[in-house]
Amino acid sequence: MTALLEVEDLRVSYGKIEAVKGISFSVDAGQVVTLIGTNGAGKTTTLRTLSGLLKPTSGKILFDGKPLSGVPAHKIVALGLAHSPEGRHIFPRLTIAENLQLGAFLRKDKDGIEKDIQRAYDLFPILGERRKQAAGTLSGGEQQMLAMGRALMSQPKLLMLDEPSMGLSPIMMQKIMATISELKSQGTTILLVEQNAQAALSLADQGHVMEVGNIVLSGTGQDLLHDESVRKAYLGED
């Protein structure tokens, strides 16, 4: 089976500083794959490069068999790669409903858009209850739900989630992780960057540990959960 996403020897620099140093990994359709590591490991840089916001210095990115080199960000979305960014970046003055509609800006199928807005409300009932409310008045967790719902509006083949639980209360984090699990059960392919390594690896089919721009360890989510070095470094266990 051909991977939906293939990343080969990817290198990304900010000026003279190389932030991603030749990483390779793949994501098969229907999988949840997670990148874990400390701040500065290169995880967010990797996602920003995949979505066309940063240009790689070298390496190959294939999505659904097509090279992404030189493809602008909005066309990458049109190909089926959606990015829910770190920090959420919702439109605070627009309503919840308007934010969701903006997630479908490339689509013309009105009936399908309405159906997917309802799907977002089914996934996140609080959004449906407050659909006419300005997005900036939502709590951090509710804004994260909105960011995920907006990314799903483009009907992605692959959904990239960058730090979805960052800054959230434990209860809200559990809700977000439960939603990711539900999306997985529905067949959504997900590339997840997440500071909570335990939660991420528990969900993931495959995981990759990044340190200072390199992938230093790869395996199934369960293998990494039980790996002694991972437990010490990322799960806070002796």
Is the confidence at residue 222, as pLDDT, over 70?
yes
The answer to whether residue 169 scores a pLDDT higher than 90 is: no
How far apart (Å, rounded) are the C-alpha atoms in residues 229 and 236?
Answer: 10
The burial of 45, by beta-carbon neighbours within 10 Å (0-12 exposed, 13-18 middle, 19 or more buried), is given as buried
The label of the residue with tokens 């049109």 reads: 78
pLDDT value of position 238: 56
Note the pTM of the prediction, 2 decimals.
Answer: 0.92
Question: Which option is the CATH number for 5-80+156-234: 3.40.50.2300, 3.30.365.10, 1.10.8.10, 3.40.50.300?
Answer: 3.40.50.300
Beta-carbon neighbour count of residue 203 at 10 Å?
A: 20
Q: What's the pLDDT band for 167 if we cut at 50, 70, 90?
A: confident
**Residue 237: its pLDDT value, please?**
66
Q: What is the DSSP string of 189-208?
A: EEEEE-S-HHHHHHH-SEEE
Residue ranges per structural domain of the chain: 5-80+156-234, 89-149
| Whole-number average pLDDT of the chain | 93
Instruction: Using pLDDT thresholds of 50, 70 and 90, give the confidence band for residue 72.
Output: very high
CA distances (Å), 151 to each of 48, 116, 148, 161, 189, in order?
14, 11, 5, 9, 13
* pLDDT for the residue numbered 1: 59
Q: Which residues contact 188 (CB under 8 A, 6 or more apart)?
A: 152, 156, 159
Nearest to 205 by CA among 3, 81, 30, 41: 30
Binning pLDDT at 50, 70 and 90, where does residue 76 land? very high
The answer to whether residue 89 scores a pLDDT higher than 90 is no
Structural contact between residues 178 and 21, judged by C-beta atoms closer than 8 angstroms: no
Pair type for strands 17-27 and 5-14: antiparallel
> Of all residues in the chain, what percent carry a pLDDT higher than 90?
82
3-state SS assignment for residue 49 = helix
> What pLDDT, on the 0 to 100 scale, is given for residue 154?
92
Q: What is the pLDDT of residues 93-138, one digit of tens each?
A: 999 999 999 999 888 899 999 999 999 999 999 999 999 999 999 9
Residue 210 has pLDDT above 80, yes or no: yes
195 and 118 Cβ atoms separated by less than 8 Å:
no
Buried residues in 134-164 as b, exposed as e (16+ CB within 10 A):
ebeebeebbbbbbbbbbbbbbebbbbbbbbb
